[in-house]
Amino acid sequence: MTFEAVKQQEQQNIMPVYSRFQVALVSGKGATATDVNGKQYIDFASGIGVNSLGFCDPEWSAAVAKQAGTLQHISNLYYSPVQTAAAENLCRLSGMSKVFFANSGAEANECAVKLARKYGTDRLGAGRTEIVTLKNSFHGRTVTTLAATGQNEFHEYFAPLTTGFSYAEPNLRSVKNAVTEKTCAVMLELIQGEGGVVPMDKAFVKELRAFCTQRKILMMVDEVQTGVGRTGTFYSYQNYGVVPDVVTSAKGLASGLPLGACLCAEPFADVLGPGTHGSTFGGNPIACAGALVVMKRLAEPEFLKDVREKGNYFAEKLAEMHGVSSVRGMGLMLGAKPARGSVGEIAVKCVEHGLLILTAKDVLRLLPPLVVSKDEADKGLAILREVLDTLEP
């Protein structure tokens, strides 16, 4: 099909909820994608941080194909060896005790909310069901995770949202002021992705950990975008030197297949019991087969070191560009603030020149596959530099 035929088909049949770039992709390898016309693109987006092993990694593809030809779905009414193996690996790499598998980050966060509220009711007393999140946060697009999101623009049109959430600035004084006798948990991203790639201060995170422990409220970390090697450790809280009570994960976990996870530490392993939560597709065998390959690769000693080195390389090259005024982030989750021009217009020009890149607030957001090669990195950075240099001062 031609691009125009694909575009017309989309406009006729799909709800218009996406502002799409003018390209239709049909294949890819590593961090390079190809469109319907055969044009190639360097990928600094990885499906919004999803394709952790890039396009069509041979080991991942073989494992997924093998599982698809063996057993594609059984539901959670039965035991699944591939699911239990994925759970064991995920608990080991995260340092958590138990996991609930879902399909997405929003669903993982929904599970965290339910776990926190049941914990509050069971162990702290009736009415202990409110959760504090941070301003500028993003936790998902369901009615409840929208309510948890600390950005008013996402709330427009969808009231009444789920109640029981309040918002604090990312400092301990503000969090303390937001916590009341009804609070059961504080939930935060350690780097606010959709909020503009904004890292939390390490001292604040450690203070928050101590405060939550003191008040017996849960510290819940949303690792949907920051997790699975993205920031140079398996989960970003490992960069901060803290251990949360609850962790949510998705995106890169199965490198392109829908898999979310809500993990908890041992003291909270039995908060959710039979009948309190569930998912038809969560922990699907095919998705878990993909996740096992991802976790096997990230467990290799050199893999995460390589991610950190690549992240430093990207950050250094971005900082050297005249068209970039500042760079923030961690590992291969970076935000580059342009010195001029709008990020939306720049992203469109990048696609025209053969680079897939994201935006978030006032920054160009870079989430390349964790396996991006130096050659692919250099090609993509050269395109970005060229685009930035064409902008009017």
Task: Name the pairing type of β-strands 183-188 and 165-168.
Answer: unpaired
3 state SS for 89-129? HHHHHHCCCEEEEECCHHHHHHHHHHHHHHHHHHHHCCCCC
Binding positions for N(2)-acetyl-L-ornithine are: 141, 279
- Could you give the CA distance from residue 134 to residue 142 in angstroms, rounded to a whole number? 18
Binding positions are: 105-106, 138, 141, 222-225, 279-280
Binding positions for pyridoxal 5'-phosphate are: 105-106, 138, 222-225, 280
- Give the residue from 211, 212, 222, 167 showing the smallest Cα distance to 189: 222
Residue with tokens 């691009």: 3
**Rg from Cα positions in the chain:** 21
- Give the residue from 141, 66, 132 showing the smallest Cα distance to 108: 141
- Give the residue from 275, 281, 272 showing the smallest Cα distance to 114: 272
> What sign has the CA pseudo-torsion 95, 99, 101, 104?
negative
> What sign has the CA pseudo-torsion 168, 170, 172, 173?
negative
- Give the residue from 250, 254, 226 showing the smallest Cα distance to 240: 226
Q: Spell out the residues 6+ positions from residue 329 whose beta carbon is closer than 8 angstroms to its own.
A: 191, 197, 199, 311, 315, 335, 366
Q: Is the distance from CB of 245 to CB of 219 less than 8 angstroms?
A: yes
Dihedral pair phi/psi, residue 213, rounded to 5°: -60, -45
- Could you give the CA distance from residue 230 to residue 70 in angstroms, rounded to a whole number? 31
Task: Name the pairing type of β-strands 98-102 and 130-134.
Answer: unpaired
Task: Name the pairing type of β-strands 363-366 and 40-43.
Answer: unpaired
- Give the residue from 199, 242, 194 showing the smallest Cα distance to 94: 242
Q: How far is CA 43 from the centre of its chain?
A: 17
SS3 call for 349: helix
